[in-house]
Amino acid sequence: MIGLRVGVLVSGSGSNLQSILDAERAGRLGPATVVLVLSNRPGVLAIERARVAGVEVEVIDHRAFAGDRASFERALVERLLAVRVDLVVLAGFMRLLGKSFLEAFPGRVVNIHPALLPAFPGVDGQGQALRYGAKIAGCTVHFVDEGTDSGPVIAQAAVPVLDDDDEKALAARILAQEHRVLPRVIRWIAEGRVVREGRRVRIVGLGVSAGSHLRSPEPEDEA
């Protein structure tokens, strides 16, 4: 089987990147391989995680482009195309990507967001949910379009918001779900099971009553 070549974009701690790399090593990423990690920030833990895993990693610092977003995006695209990336995964990547980037990878960019979209898009999804007083929070993996966290939803997982939660506790609970959902979506895409019909996304072969909302525990967790 020809593998799906994955490029992962990061900006920070890279725990989602780690979940992808761990899944790949454990054979849970299907026919997908992480071929490149790009960080827009130097010195972040995500870079070290890639190095430890032996994955090619590079910093493309957005600050070096002095506000010229098009040039920054061109540099990212160039690097990703040079290693023939099929799928771009935004795993805690904190820059918005525009038309020129998305046109280089049409329908091939996914993002993980720490909220149940369409609620609480943009920065600090967890804090937004807490301040709003939501009782259920969670995470979403979605295709990226030109809006902010507005592309078609691929999968979501929910967690309760507890009365004594602070932002840190809620973010940790959500993050644990992110680490389950994101590698799974990459595997589904690599296996050709993700079918897009307008805004609706179907995962082929999950079973009659299943959807890509993740319960806990999930039979597939053990797979």
Active site residues: 113
Between 32 and 46, CB nearer to ligand GAR: 46
Between 125 and 151, CB nearer to ligand GAR: 125
Region class of 89: left (phi > 0), else alpha (psi between -120 and 50), else beta: beta
Are 43 and 8 in contact by the 8 Å Cβ rule? The answer is no
d(CA 100, CA 147): 13
Which 52-111 positions form the footprint of ligand GAR (CB under 6 A)? 91-92
The pair of three-digit structure tokens given for residue 45, joined into one six-digit string: 């833990």
d(CA 31, CA 61): 30
Does 138 engage in binding with ligand GAR (CB under 6 A)? no
Does 186 engage in binding with ligand GAR (CB under 6 A)? no
Does 185 engage in binding with ligand GAR (CB under 6 A)? no
Between 15 and 33, CB nearer to ligand GAR: 15
Are 12 and 46 in contact by the 8 Å Cβ rule? The answer is yes
Between 16 and 40, CB nearer to ligand GAR: 16
Between 14 and 183, CB nearer to ligand GAR: 14
Which 22-51 positions form the footprint of ligand GAR (CB under 6 A)? 46
Does 14 engage in binding with ligand GAR (CB under 6 A)? yes
Does 150 engage in binding with ligand GAR (CB under 6 A)? no
Min dist. Cβ of residue 114 to ligand GAR (A): 4
CA dist 27 → 1, 135, 162, 172 (Å): 14, 35, 34, 25
Burial 128-141 (b: 16+ CB within 10 A, else e): bbbeeebeebbbbb
Does 114 engage in binding with ligand GAR (CB under 6 A)? yes
Does 151 engage in binding with ligand GAR (CB under 6 A)? no
Burial 160-183 (b: 16+ CB within 10 A, else e): ebeeebeeeebbebbbebbbbbbb
HSE (side-chain half, CA atoms, 13 Å) at 90: 25
x-marked contacts with ligand GAR along 165-184 as a string, rule CB under 6 A: ----------x--x------
Q: Which stretch binds ligand GAR (CB under 6 A): 13-21, 29-37, 75-83, 101-109?
A: 13-21
CA 51 to chain centre: 19
- Binding ligand GAR by CB under 6 A: which of 15, 33, 71, 150? 15
Provide the binding-site residues for ligand GAR, judged by CB under 6 A: 12-16, 46, 91-92, 112-114, 125, 175, 178
